[in-house]
């Protein structure tokens, strides 16, 4: 291992000893900063949870914390635990979470935010995980996961269509999935039709952004798929797929859905971001409503009315069929396909109209556009310094009395006035080039020239609290992706606790630092030595 050292080259460390060092020394070192902030210093944090969807093995519940790292001047996401929770009832999930938090010494008193997927078990008003969390932390805030919510809106709207391109995508995938002969034959048709030789991607209905990419692939490969299934009608399944591919209306519906989902994908991409962008949610939802509305609603109505107040179910505000935006490719197929009966065209426009109406209504229903926090969240953006009012900050501070002290209101008011009248460029040169969390981190270190005290202590505390509120549940989804990278077929015997500790090391430390750049402290070396000794003693006892 160390050929340049006579002493070190005799060092031996098998996988079991390395595992002991990782479990007993490296993992505590990697998680130390997070626990110091949220356990010892009682800094505000949000909790993010999700359950795995494994069917054949044990179900796991990932628990992450979102907090403000003072050392890095940014919002960070840390891994807490991933207990096994096979019984997916709300009470059992909550008990798993509470047990993990007790084990780590984390209190509910400084928990300010909650994020999960949007199923009733997690966020229902009664008898859910969130209802139990609120019993422990009454002032906790949860807006739901925007990515999940917009996915629900799109799926609900797609049910209004008479034909389902999504079902066609799924059927084509499973037709080719486990048959190498069919896949090889498809390549010949792809070459003949002069389209790219690509494998059929799997569309997962619960995965965000999956449908748009699958529709794009289907349209690009349409000539090859159609030619293939016209030549391979050997069973009922292939004949059913061929019937849909040769139906001109199916292609029209596919083109329409491909175009219509782009608005939702654009929204979703914004909230895949790791940066704190919850302050953009209200504007992004309004933009999404306007995008949907501009395809359906008469322009004059959109100009003269607040988009949130429009009654989209009223046919009088709708465009005529010839002005309804369905996408240029869709419109071109409608014009070029002369064999399509007029009644089918009418049905298509009726379906397209229903799609827009339902998606518009669902977005308004699912997103809390008048939420007190969301309507005032823009104050965290230094670009809007001129529009910040003391009343906004005080309202936000009162929402979290467990973190912001009531006797600090007057000082907070004065700091807001000071902030709004300060030339930020003089305090933090080139502050516009910083991320929002970096900006507030640097501003929190600014001191008064006369007193030497922190100038914006209370204000920055409120702002950091707001930045800790979760944007979405993407971080937990990424954690489960990490599980698949760690527990591979070559590591199939890895224990659950080792998996948990490896994830803790990766998320809490090595997301920002490469393993070879880690500064090994004397404390870590001492802990590693103790871990190795503990392992050796345990091994001797087991062999005795």
Q: Is residue 474 part of a domain?
A: no
Quote the pLDDT of residue 159. 94
Q: Which two tokens stand for residue 537?
A: 């003693």
**Residue 65 included in any domain:** yes
The terminus-to-terminus CA distance of the chain in angstroms comes to 30
Q: Are residues 180 and 132 in the same domain?
A: no
Q: Please tell me the predicted confidence (pLDDT) of residue 56.
A: 46
Q: How many domains does the chain have?
A: 3
- The Cα 520–Cα 338 span in angstroms is 73
Q: Are residues 362 and 266 both part of a single domain?
A: yes
| Tokens standing for residue 480 | 């489960």
Supply the pLDDT for residue 338.
79
pLDDT at 431: 93
In a domain, 447, yes or no: yes
Domain co-membership, 117 together with 160: no
* H or E element, residue 169: helix 165-176
Tell me, yes or no, whether 180 and 275 share the same domain: yes
CB contact set of 208 (below 8 Å; sequence gap of 6+): 147, 148, 151, 268, 272
CA distance 285 to 292: 11
Residues 133 and 154 in one domain: no
Task: Calculate the CA 85 to chain-centre distance.
Answer: 22
User: According to the model, what pLDDT value does residue 96 have?
Assistant: 94
Q: Does 481 reside within a domain?
A: no
Kindly state whether residue 214 falls inside one of the protein's structural domains: yes
Domain C-terminal end among 436, 468, 500: 468
Residues present in the chain in total: 544
**Which pLDDT does position 1 carry in this prediction?**
56
Residues 315 and 191 in one domain: yes
Q: Are residues 295 and 164 in the same domain?
A: yes
What tokens does 536 get?
């050796």
Pick from 338, 366, 394: which residue ends a domain? 366
- Asked whether residue 415 is domain-assigned, the answer is yes
pLDDT given at position 544:
66
Task: Give the residue among 30, 25, 15 at the shortest CA–CA distance from 526.
Answer: 25
Of the residues 339, 366, 393, the one at which a domain ends: 366
Q: Are residues 173 and 49 in the same domain?
A: no
Any domain includes 478: no
Q: Is 88 helix (H, G, I), strand (E, B) or coil?
A: coil
Same domain flag for 101 and 173: no
Residue 527 in domain: yes
DSSP 349-406: HHHHHHHHHHHHHHHHHHS-TT-HHHHHGGGG-GGGGGG--HHHHHHHHHT-TTTS-G
**The pLDDT of residue 208:** 62
99 shares its domain with 75: yes
Angle at 385 between CA 382 and CA 389, to 5 degrees: 130
Question: Are 204 and 325 contained in the same domain?
Answer: yes
What is the DSSP-derived secondary structure letter of residue 429? Answer: T
Helix/strand/coil (H/E/C) assignment for every residue in 302-341: HHHCCHHHCCCCCHHHECCHHHCCCCHHHHHHHHHCCCCC
pLDDT, tens digit only, all 544 positions of the chain: 566 777 766 767 777 888 888 888 989 999 999 999 999 999 999 999 998 876 446 788 999 999 999 999 999 999 999 999 888 889 999 999 999 999 999 999 999 999 998 888 999 888 999 999 999 999 999 988 898 899 999 999 999 999 999 999 999 999 998 888 999 999 999 999 999 888 888 887 766 678 889 999 999 999 999 999 999 877 899 999 999 999 999 999 999 999 999 999 999 989 888 889 999 999 999 999 999 999 999 999 999 999 999 999 999 999 999 999 999 999 999 988 878 899 999 999 999 999 999 999 999 999 988 899 999 999 999 999 999 999 999 999 999 988 888 788 899 999 999 999 999 999 999 999 999 999 999 999 999 988 989 999 999 999 999 999 998 888 898 888 888 888 877 777 788 899 999 999 999 988 777 777 778 888 888 888 888 888 888 877 877 6
Instruction: Say whether both 222 and 344 belong to one domain.
Output: yes
- Structural domain of 262: 150-366
């Amino acid at each position: 291992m160390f050929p340049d050292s006579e002493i070190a080259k005799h060092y031996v460390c098998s996988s079991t000893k390395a595992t002991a060092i990782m479990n007993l020394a490296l993992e505590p070192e990697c998680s130390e900063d997070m626990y110091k902030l949220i356990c010892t210093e009682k800094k505000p944090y949000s909790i993010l949870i999700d359950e795995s969807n494994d069917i054949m093995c044990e179900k796991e519940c990932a628990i992450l914390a979102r907090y403000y790292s003072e050392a890095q001047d940014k919002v960070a996401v840390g891994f807490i635990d991933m207990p096994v929770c096979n019984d997916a009832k709300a009470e059992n999930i909550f008990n798993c979470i509470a047990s993990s938090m007790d084990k780590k010494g984390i209190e509910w008193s400084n928990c300010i935010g909650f994020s999960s997927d949007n199923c009733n078990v997690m966020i229902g008003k009664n008898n859910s995980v969130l209802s139990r969390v609120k019993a422990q932390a009454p002032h906790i805030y949860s807006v739901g996961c925007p990515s999940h919510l917009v996915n629900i809106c799109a799926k609900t709207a797609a049910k209004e269509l008479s034909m389902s391109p999504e079902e066609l995508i799924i059927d084509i995938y499973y037709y080719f999935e486990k048959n190498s002969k069919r896949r090889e034959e498809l390549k010949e048709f792809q070459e003949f039709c002069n389209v790219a030789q690509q494998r059929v991607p799997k569309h997962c209905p619960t995965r965000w952004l999956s449908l748009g990419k699958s529709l794009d692939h289907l349209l690009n490969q349409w000539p090859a798929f159609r030619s293939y299934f016209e030549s391979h009608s050997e069973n009922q399944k292939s004949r059913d797929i061929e019937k849909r591919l040769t139906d001109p209306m199916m292609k029209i519906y596919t083109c329409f859905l491909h175009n219509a989902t782009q608005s939702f994908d654009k929204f979703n991409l914004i909230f895949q971001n790791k940066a704190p962008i919850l302050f953009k949610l209200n504007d992004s939802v309004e933009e999404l409503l306007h995008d949907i509305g501009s395809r359906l609603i008469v322009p004059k109505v959109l100009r003269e009315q607040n988009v949130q107040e429009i009654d989209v179910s009223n046919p009088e505000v709708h465009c005529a069929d010839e002005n309804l935006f369905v996408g240029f490719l869709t419109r071109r197929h409608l014009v070029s396909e002369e064999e399509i009966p007029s009644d089918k065209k009418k049905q298509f426009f009726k379906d397209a109209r229903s799609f827009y109406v339902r998606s518009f209504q669902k977005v308004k229903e699912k997103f809390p556009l008048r939420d007190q926090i969301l309507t005032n969240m823009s104050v965290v953006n230094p670009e809007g310094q001129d529009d910040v009012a003391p009343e906004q900050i005080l309202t936000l501070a009162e929402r979290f009395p467990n973190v912001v002290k009531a006797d600090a209101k007057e000082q907070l008011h004065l700091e807001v006035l000071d902030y709004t009248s300060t030339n930020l460029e003089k305090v933090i040169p080139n502050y516009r080039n910083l991320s929002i969390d970096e900006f507030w981190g640097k501003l929190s270190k600014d001191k008064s020239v006369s007193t030497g005290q922190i100038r914006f202590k209370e204000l920055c505390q409120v702002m950091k609290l707001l930045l800790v509120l979760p944007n979405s549940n993407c971080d937990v989804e990424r954690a489960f992706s990490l599980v698949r990278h760690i527990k591979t077929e070559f590591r199939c015997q890895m224990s659950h606790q080792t998996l948990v500790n490896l994830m803790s090391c990766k998320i809490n430390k090595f997301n920002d630092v490469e393993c070879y750049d880690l500064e090994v402290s004397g404390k870590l070396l001492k802990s590693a030595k103790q871990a190795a000794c503990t392992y050796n003693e345990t091994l001797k006892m087991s062999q005795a």
